[in-house]
Structure 1
Amino acid sequence: MRNVEQFYINGEFIEPRGTERLDLINPATEEKIGSVRLGNAEDVAAAVKAAKKAFPELAQTSKAERVDMLLSLRDAVTANPEELIDAMTEEYGAPSYFTAFSVQNTASVFEVMAETVENYDFDRTGGRSAIRMLPRGVLAAITPWNSNFGFIATKLAHAIGSGSPLVIKPAEQSAIQTEVLVKRLHKAGLPAGVLNVVNGTGPVVGAALTSNPDVATISFTGSSQAAKIIQRAAIDGMKRVILELGGKAPTVLLPDADLDKAIPIALMSGFANSGQACVAGTRILAPRSRMAEICEKLKIETEKLRVGDPRDPEIRIGPLASQAQWERIQSYIRLGLDEGAVLLTGGEGRPKGLERGWFARPTIFTNVTNNMRVAREEIFGPVLCVLSYEDENEAVEIANDSDYGLQAYVLGIDADRATRLAERLIAGRVVVNGAPHDPRAPFGGFKQSGIGREIGAFGLDGLLEPRAVLTP
């Protein structure tokens, strides 16, 4: 049993003022594994005060000083990756392939930002004027539970890279993971007030953070619905906002696709992280001429995927994060059937042999049209839809007919053809033929998938303001 009793404010682990608690549950067993003290508005005020005090000195740091901080954070993460993996497995239940990637990516985020800072032009010219890119002030961040380490690292890396002290509210359901990571980050020796962490709920801690007058920028990762609340709160103080939101990514199978290669890629694009990913390829667009063989292959390969104990390296789909999330997925499966979609595989309930844990059956619907809710709303679980198209123009039309535009996937033998189609898709990232993760590519979306970008120079741009000095 692990009880999280402290917050990290002004370089110290301190007892919070808030007294409410939240139980922490292992989603694979449904057993209580600990609890967390939840913060209140006083805790937020203390954290913002510490960050504000740290701002003048941090804003004046050199490139070399920021790079040193970022590389120290990288080294702190890589010192004992198993500790982080174990915490993520127990508290979140992600399969081992995803936890290993997540910890590696957490370290990589700091290294990539160090490279970015080294090459970033903080000083520029415009006409005859000298321009300097300056941090605005305190950065507030709110992050979700589906990749806790990576989200914290991304917000902190951008904060240090831009010279902006950070106050972050991670997902309260991830408190054990947060504590393990923050204790590691503390060893990097950041100046007091540069990193401040307050656990708590959105309506209490999140609201206090976004409305605090000393917060200059809000960086939020989460749902589009929550983002709208944050945007409204930011208006009065004219706070800048960076929003990385949801998605309903299309996976376009081109007519020439080699199904033996393409189908496994399409399934892992949709089912990775147990389907709890904003980038999940949940709309599979298949040519009508090959629909029968594509559906047959999807069914066969999906039913090979193992669901179960996330500690088993052969498992591809672990539990959903919570009972509420499991019930949400069940409701969407019922909705799909009510809308007239046909189950290709999966359905309601737990997989056979799994009586405990928030495990859902990997589910694929066919006979789906793009106006169905299951094809338009972000489900955030292992539920995919197959939609048919006649030609490439219709494929592009269906793919782009979405409220979202975060990520998309294209699969086909002819790489040039696949790339040409990719260039027609309205998405922040388009992955062609299972291309590997690029930690240096900007991340963010069009439409309701967000505002702004993270990663690299694009990420720094969103946290800095140009000041021009005009001289005779």
Structure 2
Amino acid sequence: MLRKTNFYINGAWIPPTLPNDFDVINPATEKPVCVISLGSSKDVNKAVTAAKNSFDIWNNTPIKERILKIEKLAEIYEIRVDEMAKAISMEMGAPIDLAINSQAAAGIGHIRSFIRVLKEFKFEHYLRDDTPDEFLIHEAVGVCGLITPWNWPMNQVTMKVIPALGVGCTVVLKPSEIAPMSSLLFAEFMDEAGFLDGVFNLINGDGPTVGDAIGRHPDIDMISFTGSTKVGIGLTRSSADTVKRVALEMGGKGANIIFADANITEAVKRGAIHCFNNTGQSCNAPSRMLVERSVYDEAVEIASTTAKNTAIGQPNEHGNHIGPLVSEAQFNKVQDLIQSGIDEGARLVAGGIGRPDGFNRGYFVQATVFADVNNSMRIAREEIFGPVLSIIPFDDEAEAIKISNDTKYGLTNYVQSGDILRAQRISRHLRSGMVVFNGASRHPESPFGGYKQSGKGREGGIYGLEEFLEVKAISGWNTVIR
């Protein structure tokens, strides 16, 4: 079994201040595959001190040199991408093909994207062409605490680390202790790329100890967090005393509005597969399917068939299947919510309680579909984070919009219609940070983030850079002293 108990601080792998071993569990076998150490506030202090001491040097390093380091990182990542995919598959249960083609690929994709954006970004410019005396400078916010989740580990690590370092910040990263192996491997990439000591630091630990210490630390200028809404609220509180900038990317309960004029077979099947992807463990999953009543029965049948045809398999096996949930706690949560759907009167048309046939070990669950759901049920209101789809009928546009917006979340909504003008019209009324029409792909530089309790701030592209920048306005820039 692997033993990875050291932290990466100030350019070196060092042991924790106090030993505190923690087993990383393979969710497919329920057996430990790696031992890490959970850190303490003393370890946070060491990492923050290193980041603070290196900030001035790194921030004053020319942008071209910072980009060269990130380009070197990209080269290393691409060479070792198979290692990354295997680590992700082992730690959080992603099937290996998904781990290669989506999970690990997301990391290198974001690195390359941010390199392009950094090369084009204007860090200094006049307010307008006709204001030669008003000058703006975009400067790094400072030392950043980055807290990332287990469900898309490299997607989130690179969405935070790369723009932060690119604009001149220094960072302390705390990955999820449930799935830390990919981030430890990423730290190896950073070390190999030769970044200045102290620019990038990694500490493993739990939220109540290390996460809270990062939030409260007076020398951390910004927190960027991705995870549950509950934890994000707590982290905001712990950061308040030091008036940190806080960027949050949290939960979602996306509505997928399907009109009768859509290609029903394609739209429903695509929506169900999207919901089940990554075993439902995605904040932007379209987990509420809203269907126009005239095609409702047809949609329920298609979704049910899609769920029943969803293959379930081991993470280390190649193929187009879903794997286990990440942990026992997540397994129990999903089982509880499926049971609540049954108890509250939703019609179970596929899946249900318990492991799939043929699985007696591992946190595997059935792809599950409920019909006749109303928006007051727990399965329609809570983020399940499992392969559970709730289907809700609607009669007209106004009702579809009302149901979609009747949630505390506001991350991603989806519209399926043959009438693009209607889709455009409805999108203006949906209270979410992102809307996707008819299965379109999102551009990698498009801003990712939500409204309401889905968070604040945006990641990706120029918007991802701006999260880590302060704006300084200088008046009289070209004023001549007489």
- Which TM-score bucket, shorter chain as reference? over 0.9
Once the two structures are superposed, the pairs formed by residues 229-240 of structure 1 within 5 Å of their partners are 229-240=234-245
Shift of 1:271: 0.9
Q: Is the Cα contact below 8 Å between 1:444 and 1:450 reproduced in 2? A: yes
Deviations 1:42-85 (A, max 9, x none): 11000000000111011112221222122122111101211111
Shift of 1:129: 2.0
SS of the residue 1:190 aligns to: coil
Q: Residue type of the partner of 1:306?
A: A
Percent of aligned pairs with the same residue? 38
Shift of 1:416: 4.0
**2:365 is the alignment partner of 1:340:** no
Q: Which residue of 2 aligns with 1:167?
A: 172
Q: Is the Cα contact below 8 Å between 2:28 and 2:363 reproduced in 1? A: yes
Q: Which residue of 2 aligns with 1:57?
A: 57
SS of the residue 2:156 aligns to: helix
**2:450 is the alignment partner of 1:445:** yes
SS of the residue 2:318 aligns to: coil
Q: Which residue of 2 aligns with 1:88?
A: 88
TM-score (norm 1): 0.97
Shift of 1:272: 1.1
Once the two structures are superposed, the pairs formed by residues 248-267 of structure 1 within 5 Å of their partners are 248-267=253-272
Match of 1:301 among 303, 306, 316: 306
Once the two structures are superposed, the pairs formed by residues 94-109 of structure 1 within 5 Å of their partners are 94-100=94-100, 101-109=102-110
How many Å separate the matches in 2 of 1:132 and 1:213?
Answer: 25
Unpaired stretches in structure 1, ≥5 consecutive residues: none
Unpaired stretches in structure 2, ≥5 consecutive residues: none
How many Å separate the matches in 2 of 1:366 and 1:65?
Answer: 56
How many Å separate the matches in 1 of 2:440 and 2:350?
Answer: 27
Once the two structures are superposed, the pairs formed by residues 6-45 of structure 1 within 5 Å of their partners are 6-45=6-45
Moved more, 378-387 or 258-267: 258-267
**2:145 is the alignment partner of 1:140:** yes
Deviations 1:78-102 (A, max 9, x none): 0121111111111211123421211
1:280–1:121 Cα change, 3 Å: same
**2:68 is the alignment partner of 1:68:** yes
**2:392 is the alignment partner of 1:391:** no
Once the two structures are superposed, the pairs formed by residues 169-248 of structure 1 within 5 Å of their partners are 169-248=174-253
Question: For the aligned residues, what is the CA RMSD?
Answer: 1.4
Deviations 1:170-199 (A, max 9, x none): 001112222222212221111111110000
How many Å separate the matches in 2 of 1:8 and 1:303?
Answer: 45
How many Å separate the matches in 1 of 2:18 and 2:259?
Answer: 54
Q: Which residue of 1 aligns with 2:160?
A: 155
Shift of 1:408: 1.3
Q: Residue type of the partner of 1:112?
A: S
Q: Is the Cα contact below 8 Å between 2:88 and 2:103 reproduced in 1? A: no
Q: Which residue of 2 aligns with 1:352?
A: 357
How many Å separate the matches in 1 of 2:306 and 2:282?
Answer: 20
Q: Is the Cα contact below 8 Å between 1:51 and 1:165 reproduced in 2? A: yes
Q: Residue type of the partner of 1:64?
A: K
SS of the residue 2:361 aligns to: coil
How many Å separate the matches in 2 of 1:418 and 1:111?
Answer: 32
Q: Which residue of 2 aligns with 1:454?
A: 459
Deviations 1:325-358 (A, max 9, x none): 1000000011112222111111100001111110
Q: Which residue of 2 aligns with 1:116?
A: 117
How many Å separate the matches in 2 of 1:284 and 1:50?
Answer: 48
Moved more, 238-247 or 107-116: 107-116
Shift of 1:226: 0.6
SS of the residue 1:405 aligns to: coil
Moved more, 149-158 or 177-186: 177-186
TM-score (norm 2): 0.95
Deviations 1:235-277 (A, max 9, x none): 1111000001110001111111212311221012211110011
Q: Is the Cα contact below 8 Å between 1:400 and 1:425 reproduced in 2? A: yes
Deviations 1:399-446 (A, max 9, x none): 111111111112233444334333332221212111124211111100
Moved more, 24-33 or 443-452: 24-33
Match of 2:383 among 378, 382, 385: 378
Q: Residue type of the partner of 1:56?
A: D
Q: Residue type of the partner of 1:17?
A: T
Deviations 1:88-136 (A, max 9, x none): 1112111234212111110111111111111112112234222211112
Shift of 1:310: 2.0
SS of the residue 1:448 aligns to: helix
SS of the residue 1:219 aligns to: strand
Q: Is the Cα contact below 8 Å between 2:269 and 2:302 reproduced in 1? A: no
Q: Is the Cα contact below 8 Å between 1:217 and 1:241 reproduced in 2? A: yes
Deviations 1:292-334 (A, max 9, x none): 1111111111101101212333342110001111000000011
SS of the residue 2:221 aligns to: strand
Q: Is the Cα contact below 8 Å between 1:2 and 1:176 reproduced in 2? A: no
SS of the residue 1:215 aligns to: coil
How many Å separate the matches in 1 of 2:379 and 2:265?
Answer: 27
How many Å separate the matches in 1 of 2:84 and 2:349?
Answer: 37
How many Å separate the matches in 1 of 2:432 and 2:189?
Answer: 35
Shift of 1:25: 1.1
SS of the residue 1:459 aligns to: helix
Moved more, 116-125 or 322-331: 116-125
1:325–1:413 Cα change, 3 Å: same
Q: Which residue of 1 aligns with 2:277?
A: 272
Shift of 1:396: 1.4
Q: Residue type of the partner of 1:118?
A: K
